[in-house]
């Protein structure tokens, strides 16, 4: 059975201004089998297991990400322009974090990276000069992976469009499209009091996008009523986590299999914070 293998590197589509040239334009693509712009509705079905009676080809897409990882509280503090205590509010808006290569004010027409903008109610600014009671915080939620299969070749959506523009016949392609949630994504809990470790970016004309972003991973510490704290991250070491993480399996309507793996899911961060108290954290920040 023919197999196609590919490695891609997924980058956060928006980062603070000092890293915008590296991250703003979306993923740094190391092979053709990756994100494109047009979702082909109904082209792909996700299976709960790897069983299939179809003899189609099998392909593998692997992705990694270049992002800051903090192993100590001191690292988190040093890397953050702002450290804010407070609580999350409502989800304000979802949008495409990937931007147009010629104008960062516009969303990309090639890549789609879903970002969520949340309201954050600020109780106190522990680091950074902030004169606001409410700020917007952007979290990366997911990436869209789409393209087509031509025989034993796996093509990205960008490659498919280029072939179509050149007049090549793409009617026989087996289209694929699926969404993958970032392994680092955690839906905020509005009931929790938290400390966020953030960067700020003001490159956008849109006030909604004039927002704050995680400095890296982890970036959230929950503060409990008794003054104890808990570091929060999907990547924290736990005996309950399964290693290595299993690839997600997708089957196209023509029976081709695509196994997708984000290697970020296998990253491990040790918890060197949760043994501290809220007062301990304040002392280390100040």
C-alpha 197/C-alpha 213 separation (Å) is 8
The length of the chain, given as a count of residues: 286
pLDDT of residue 8: 42
Query: How far from 159 is each of 45, 150, 235, CA to CA, in Å?
Result: 22, 11, 33
Beta bridge mates, 198: 82, 214
Task: Record the tokens describing residue 196, joined without a space.
Answer: 């966020």
pLDDT of residue 101: 85
Beta strands in 128-219 (DSSP E): 134-150, 153-156, 174-181, 193-201, 211-214
pLDDT of residue 58: 92
| This prediction's pTM | 0.78
pLDDT of residue 9: 40
pLDDT of residue 208: 66
C-alpha 226/C-alpha 209 separation (Å) is 35
pLDDT of residue 51: 39
Residue 155 in contact with residue 149, Cβ under 8 Å?
yes
pLDDT of residue 19: 32
Task: Record the tokens describing residue 253, joined without a space.
Answer: 């309507």
> pLDDT of the chain along its 286 residues, tens only?
444 444 444 433 433 333 332 223 333 332 333 332 223 333 343 333 333 444 678 999 888 778 899 999 999 999 999 999 999 999 999 999 988 888 888 888 888 999 999 999 999 999 999 989 999 999 999 999 988 998 888 988 888 888 877 877 667 889 999 999 999 999 999 999 999 999 998 766 667 677 899 999 999 999 999 999 999 999 998 878 777 788 899 999 899 999 998 888 888 899 999 999 999 999 999 8
Q: Is 49 exposed, middle or buried (0-12, 13-18, 19+ CB in 10 A)?
A: exposed
C-alpha 251/C-alpha 258 separation (Å) is 6
C-alpha 154/C-alpha 165 separation (Å) is 18
Task: Record the tokens describing residue 71, joined without a space.
Answer: 């192993």
Query: How far from 217 is each of 3, 66, 134, 230, 264, CA to CA, in Å?
Result: 34, 11, 23, 14, 11
């Amino acid at each position: 059975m023919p197999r196609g293998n590919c490695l891609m590197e997924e980058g956060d589509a928006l980062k603070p201004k000092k890293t915008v040239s590296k991250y703003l334009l979306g993923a740094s693509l190391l092979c053709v089998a990756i994100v494109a712009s047009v979702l082909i509705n109904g082209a792909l079905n996700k299976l709960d297991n790897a069983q299939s009676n179809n003899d189609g080809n099998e392909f593998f897409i692997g992705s990694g990400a270049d992002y800051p990882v903090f192993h100590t509280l001191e690292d988190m503090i040093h890397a953050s322009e702002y450290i804010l205590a407070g609580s999350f509010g409502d989800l304000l808006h979802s949008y495409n974090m990937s931007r147009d290569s010629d104008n960062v004010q516009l969303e990309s027409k090639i890549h789609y990276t879903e970002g969520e903008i949340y309201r954050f109610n600020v109780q106190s600014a522990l680091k950074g000069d902030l004169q606001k009671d409410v700020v917007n915080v952007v979290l990366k939620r997911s990436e869209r992976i789409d393209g087509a299969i031509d025989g034993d070749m796996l093509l990205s959506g960008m490659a498919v469009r280029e072939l179509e523009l050149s007049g090549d016949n793409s009617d026989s392609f087996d289209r694929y499209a699926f969404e993958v949630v970032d392994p680092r994504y955690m839906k905020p809990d509005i009931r929790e009091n938290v400390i966020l470790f953030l960067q700020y970016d003001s490159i956008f004309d849109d006030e909604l996008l004039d927002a704050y972003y995680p400095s890296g991973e982890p970036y959230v510490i929950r503060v409990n009523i008794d003054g104890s704290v808990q570091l929060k991250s999907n990547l924290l070491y736990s005996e309950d986590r399964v290693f290595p993480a299993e690839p997600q399996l997708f089957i196209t309507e023509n029976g081709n299999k695509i196994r997708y793996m984000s290697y970020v899911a296998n990253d491990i961060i040790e918890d060197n914070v949760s043994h501290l108290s809220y007062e301990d954290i304040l002392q280390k920040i100040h």
